Amino acid sequence: MVRYLLLGLFLASACKKPLDLKKEEAAYDAYLEALPELRVVQKNAPVQLSIVYVENPRWPTLDVAARQRVYANVETLARRVYGYDLKMKEAKQQTITDLFATAGPRFAASPIRFPSEAFLVSWFAPNRDALVTETIAAALKKHSPEKLAEYLGKDTDPVAASRVFLQKLTAIYAETDSSGQPLLSTVNKQDEVWYSYGHWSTLLQGEKEFDFVLTNVGIIGADNGMPLYVVARGGVTSAFVENNAHRPYQGAGVLGMYPFLSDSPFFTAERGALTGAEKEEAIAWLWLHELGHLLLKKEENYTFGDSVHRAPPNLKYYEWVKTVRATKDHRSEKVGVMKKF
């Protein structure tokens, strides 16, 4: 998924690295440009997705039986809503530590390393709050006042929106895992890459074995180029699909389940208390939204409020499920098709 960046922010992060980020960006843009245009996946043959399940053992998780129920549910929904004969196969399980170790060379490989070098606004950056305000100001400029009010309530100016964003992200990172350690603090600074959109972007673009990563980690943080709904959720990207030159459907995706599985006070307040079955159903529907990107090549939709092509606007995932599962016509044919993810 292409995120549009701010040059000022690159330069700010370029100071601490010897990498010439302007040159890296040009090489990355040329690489994306040269990728073949996306083709809509045909419905006359079975679609097979190979999945790797990636776990942080100290975070809430879905066991094997629950994951199999989710895969079966997504298969059923993909047939009913999109008309695909879908088969999802979990081919491997790995820890998050091992996945990032395996993917290590991708973070050094130009041009796909660019997102991992340039997108993250680090939680530990000395000028973090100013950078967050700058990137949120750029995100808000792309939308009408009505759309901003719909997603952000009354806090629609960049300063107020950034304040709320940082409050939410602070609350999330302060949550503790089963060993009592906060999700992110100075003690485990090195884990920030696990939650970083840009690092997942690079990882997915270099992926050769799998079409989707399902993980109990969350993609949660500030980055240059957050869409409006990620700003509204305090930095939570539930899932996304990236360009991929190696996989059959021209893309690879990740679904980060932490915001669905966590029963922390923050997520319970924002999302509502959910039963195990409700969490599984919300994950399955969100996955179906992602398959609208991966298979149908549909762009992000902000218009059709009850269509599965519109991402959940906030963290009330199950409210979104109740809306989209009642929809008879998701208006897929009215949603634009992308040339690149």
State in angstroms the smallest separation of the CB of 1 from Zn ion: 8
Q: How far is the CB of 312 from Zn ion (least distance, A)?
A: 9
Nearer to Zn ion, 71 or 229 (CB): 229
Q: Return d(Cα 62, Cα 88) in angstroms, integer.
A: 16
Report residue 139 as tokens: 């995100």
Choice between 183 and 311, CB closer to Zn ion = 311
Residue whose CB is less far from Zn ion, 74 or 184: 74
Instruction: Give the CB-nearest residue to Zn ion.
Output: 311
- Part of the chain binding Zn ion (CB under 5 A), chosen from 61-69, 84-92, 252-260, 309-317: 309-317
Using rule CB under 5 A, residue 311 touches Zn ion: yes
Query: What x-and-dash track marks residues 29-68 binding Zn ion by CB under 5 A?
Result: ----------------------------------------
How many residues are listed for the chain in this entry? 341
- Angle at which helix 128-140 crosses helix 7-14, to 10 degrees, equals 160
Q: Residue 55 or 300: which CB sits closer to Zn ion?
A: 300
Maximum CA pair distance of the chain?
A: 54
User: With respect to Zn ion, which residue has the nearer C-beta, 21 or 315?
Assistant: 315
According to DSSP H, which parts of 128-275 are helical? 128-140, 145-152, 158-173, 197-205, 228-232, 258-261, 265-271
Q: Candidates 33-41, 72-80, 142-150, 310-318 — which segment interacts with Zn ion by CB under 5 A?
A: 310-318
**Helix 128-140 with 158-173: angle, nearest 10 deg:** 120
- Residue of 294, 199, 279, 188 whose CA lies nearest to 240: 294
State the number of CA atoms in the 13 A half-sphere of 102 facing the CB.
Answer: 15
**Residue placing its CB nearer to Zn ion in the complex, 168 or 289:** 289
**Least distance to Zn ion, CB of residue 253, Å:** 10
Nearer to Zn ion (CB atom), residue 220 or residue 311: 311
Q: 184 or 252: whose CB is closer to Zn ion?
A: 252
Residues in region 283-302 near Zn ion by CB under 5 A: 300
Among the residue ranges 16-24, 58-66, 200-208, 303-311, the one whose residues contact Zn ion (CB under 5 A): 303-311
Instruction: Please enumerate in sequence order all residues whose Cβ is within 8 A of that of 337, keeping only pairs 6 or more positions apart, or say none.
Output: 38, 40, 296, 297, 298, 299
Phi and psi dihedrals of 242, rounded to 5? -120, 160
Any alpha helices (H) in 211-331, and if so which ranges?
A: 228-232, 258-261, 265-271, 276-294, 317-325
Q: How far is the CB of 230 from Zn ion (least distance, A)?
A: 10
Contact set for Zn ion, span 11-30 (CB under 5 A): none
Number of residues that bind Zn ion (CB under 5 A): 2
The CB-of-341 to Zn ion minimum distance in angstroms stands at 10
Cis peptide before 111 (omega within 30 of 0): yes
Report which of 87, 300, 331, 93 is spatially closest to residue 214, judged by C-alpha positions: 93
When asked if residue 120 is in the footprint of Zn ion (CB under 5 A), the reply is no
- Among 10-18, 163-171, 305-313, 331-339, which window interacts with Zn ion (CB under 5 A)? 305-313
DSSP assignment of 140-167 equals HTTS-HHHHHHHHTT--SHHHHHHHHHH
Task: Kindly list the residues in this chain that would bind Zn ion in the complex (CB under 5 A).
Answer: 300, 311
